[in-house]
Structure formats: structure tokens, C-alpha cells
Amino acid sequence: MDHTPTAAQSKWLCVPQTIRLSGSGSLEVNQQLETLASQGAPQCWGSMNPDQTDRSSHIWSIEETKFAHRTMQIQFADQKQEFNKRPSKIGRRSLSRSISQSSTDSYSSAASYTDSSDDETSPRDKQQKNSKGNGDFCIKNIKQADFGRREIEIAEQEMPALMALRKRAQGEKPLAGAKVVGCTHITAQTAVLMETLSALGAQCRWAACNIYSTQNEVAAALAEGGFSVFAWKGESEDDFWWCIDRCVNVEGWQPNMILDDGGDLTHWIYKKYPNMFKKIKGIVEESVTGVHRLYQLSKAGKLCVPAMNVNDSVTKQKFDNLYCCRESILDGLKRTTDVMFGGKQVVVCGYGEVGKGCCAALKAMGSIVYVTEIDPICALQACMDGFRLVKLNEVIRQVDIVITCTGNKNVVVREYLDRMKNGCIVCNMGHSNTEIDVVSSQLAQTLNYVASLHLPTFDAHLTELTDEQAKYLGLNKNGPFKPNYYR
């Protein structure tokens, strides 16, 4: 069909339409013809293809006519996102890209549920209650619970073993009396675990082991279901420890089991509430970082309760560390950078199970992969798998992507960051945020310099340390003067 407008139609190329999506996904299309309808304006409709729906965001793909200029509004509940579409050579691509990027890039950021005022307010500063009047939780927005519930239901379909256990044993309540305090990533999969523990008779209180990984809508669904959850995406370091403390320090409730990821929860209890270990029956630790910390406690004679090393189990090593990381590394890099991997030079620091998964995924995408390793056995495995074993300083100038997955600290130091090519991508697949030295003395020097530029406005004059004073304080004469944790 020829879509070229006739002379009579050419003056009607701007007929506004509004497309409204309700929270349940139903579609209402209102064409605002205003006074143009009475003057014979043509109706310019796009086709809605239900086969192109995005399951995570429930936003329909819109196939536009070639000559219409329209303003489209996509509205969830009380928020609007407006996109202006003009004729271009790329057709509908620019609109669909804008929609998908804002709606599917980490839905846990709650862009479609939370207005700007909510984003600016810390969850610690607002009191929320679920539909039953319970307020023993601290999350981003309880209104996201319905969407989080749908994500949990999808996750249940991918976790048949846990669901089978729930169905088989929930009548017996084998965990009756268990009071589990957990500190893990709060995702839909974790929610399935928590609800299974509850179905088997356990009481749970949960915090996040990572300040960035919490799915806000899942946390909302758990809070709506009666769970005491203290987590949201984008916590500060102070928020992180506050949430853990809220899980542990509760009047009339004391945990007797710990489920930890990274050892932070165990460390906090040892540091702040050591007497609690008199009633704690055991610790379950699922990460290599946390296991190392438990071994350190054991060697020091401070591990006073049994601890289970989940990290070294076959299913954890192969499925979680190897196979899951093999898929998540590509998804994470694609979402954040949108680059092609074919022909890119990548160095992966560490060839454990996580490193193996990363290398396999990137090699399959056509990347040139280098590996750094300290263990001769893992190094030999890397060579036998077809990867070139190098030292990081040998390739840092030429690589396009640097991936750390060692569980160590200061793997990528400031010196390496300075030598990288412009546009080099640096990311971490390990547990902690210490593998990449993003807070270094050179950065501190820069902060001091920026601060000093403001002093002349106040006619301020800095006092300089003498060499003897600097030596006495153990500081560089020219700074930095503050420790890394100073804020």
C-alpha cells in the first residue's frame, strides 16, 4: 500500500494520539482529533502487535505509519513518559529503543513506579505499611508489590527443585522454631527461597549483601507478604550496615541461624552482638569471600558455631559460578555499554569458576580473551582452554575490556587505570567492590585540588605542614590528609 500523502492530506500530518497503558497491561487508545476531525483530517493509526510485547515491562511495540507525526504518552498509574516521534530514515527504531531502554534497564530502579520526589527521599525517612498494617520493613516503595509478585511467580517456574521441596515438606514444618537472619542478593530467586523457608516453618529477616543488586519490586512483594526486609537499590554504606542491624537487633526476636553471602552479616554479629552466638546453631555461607573470612575466624579460634560451606558444593560451583556467570556477564555488559564483542580484546583477571564462565561467553562472541592468574593449576586450565596467559601490566594499554573476578583487592590499581586506552570498559564480577581501586590517593589529591580552588572566594589561607610535622603525623606534606572512609 502506498503511504505517500496526497496534496489534500499533506496539511494534516500532525494529528496527536494518546496511548495509555494501565497497570494491568490493558490498552486504551484515545485519538485526540480536536477540531481537526470536523475538517476532514485523516486518521493516522499505528498497528499494535501483541506478539511483540516485552514480558518484563508490559510495553507494546508500536509500528508507525511512515508519514505521521504524533505525540505518544505511555502512562503507568501516576507517571507519564512522553516521546515525540518525527519522520526519519530509521522509522520506528528510535521510539522503540527509547521505550525499552527506560523500561527494561534494571526495572528494580522503579522508574515506572516512583516519581522524582520518592527517588529523593531515603526509605529510612518514610514510614510505610503493607495492606495488613505491618510496617516492620524498610524498602523503596511498597506500591511495587504487584509487579514484584509477578516476577517471583516467573522465578518459581525456573526453580522446580525448591518448589518440589516446598510442596513435599510444608505440611510437616521441619523448620518450625528456626529464626533465620539472611544477608544475600534480594532478587526474585531469593524470594522463592525465603518463601520456601517460611512455608517450612522458619521465621525470616533479610538484608541485602550488595548495595546495588536489590530488585526493589521484589523487596516490595516480600514486604507485602509479611517478610521483614530491609533493602533497596542504591544504598549508601551507612544504609547497608543500618539494614543489617535492623535485621539483627530486634526486641523480642533473636536469630538462631545465619544465611550469609560475603560474610558481612556474620562479621557484624561478631563485632556488635557476640553474645548472640550462644543461641545461634549454625552459619550457611554461599560465597568464596565469606568462606575465606570464616576460615580466618576458625584459624584464630573465634568460630564458635558450625558453619556450612555452600560455595564449594558442586551445584554452586558449576551452576551458579560457571553457567550463570557465563550468561550474566554478557547481559550486564550489553545493558550497560551496548557494545559489540566481536574482535574486542578482553582481559579476565582470575580463572576460577566465575572467570571460566566469563571467558567462555566472551570467546563465543568472538572476543580475543586474555587471562591473568596466580594459581598454576587454573593457569594451566586457561592455556588448555585456548586462552593466552598474561600479566595485567603487559596488556593493559591495548585491551578494550577489563573484567575482575578474583575476590581479592586492588587487582586494578590506579596505575593501570591511567594507562588504559580511552573508552576502556572496566567491570567487576567478584563479590566485593575492592578489586578495582576507584578510591585512590591520586583521586584524593584531585579532590583536595578542587576544594582548594574555592578558598580564594573566602580570602582563606591554608597552613602548610613542615617536614617534621608531616613526618610526625605520618602524612604526605601535600596531602591527601583524609582516610578513604572520610565523607
What three-state secondary structure class fits 478?
coil
Q: Is 66 assigned a ligand-binding role in the annotation? A: no
Q: Is 167 assigned a ligand-binding role in the annotation? A: no
Q: Is 235 assigned a ligand-binding role in the annotation? A: no
Angle at 147 between CA 126 and CA 335, to 5 degrees: 95
Q: Is 261 assigned a ligand-binding role in the annotation? A: yes
The string of DSSP codes covering 235-263 is --HHHHHHHHHHHH-BTTB--SEEEESSS
Q: Is 263 assigned a ligand-binding role in the annotation? A: no
State the Cα–Cα distance between residues 483 and 444, nearest whole angstrom.
9
Q: Are 65 and 46 a contacting pair, CB within 8 Å? A: yes
Q: Is 316 assigned a ligand-binding role in the annotation? A: yes
Q: Is 352 assigned a ligand-binding role in the annotation? A: yes
Q: Is 467 assigned a ligand-binding role in the annotation? A: no
Q: Is 264 assigned a ligand-binding role in the annotation? A: no
Q: Determine how β-strand 307-309 pairs with β-strand 282-285.
A: parallel
Cell numbers given for 318: 558449576
Q: Is 430 assigned a ligand-binding role in the annotation? A: no
| CA contacts within 13 A on the Cβ side of 291 | 10
- Picking from 108, 333, 146, the residue whose alpha carbon sits closest to that of residue 222 is 146
> Directed axis angle between helix 264-272 and helix 237-248, to 10°?
70
Give yes or no for a cis peptide into 376 (omega within 30° of 0). no
Cα 353 to Cα 311, 339, 357, 378, 381: the distances in Å are 11, 25, 6, 10, 11
Cell numbers given for 58: 508490559
Q: Is 4 assigned a ligand-binding role in the annotation? A: no
Cell numbers given for 324: 550463570
State the Cα–Cα distance between residues 162 and 182, nearest whole angstrom.
17
* Residue that the C-alpha cell 529510612 belongs to: 124
Q: Is 354 assigned a ligand-binding role in the annotation? A: yes
State the Cα–Cα distance between residues 241 and 208, nearest whole angstrom.
10
Residues of the binding site for substrate: 187, 261, 286, 316, 320
Q: Which residues are annotated as a binding site?
A: 187, 261, 286, 316, 320, 352-357, 373
Binding-site members for NAD(+) are: 352-357, 373
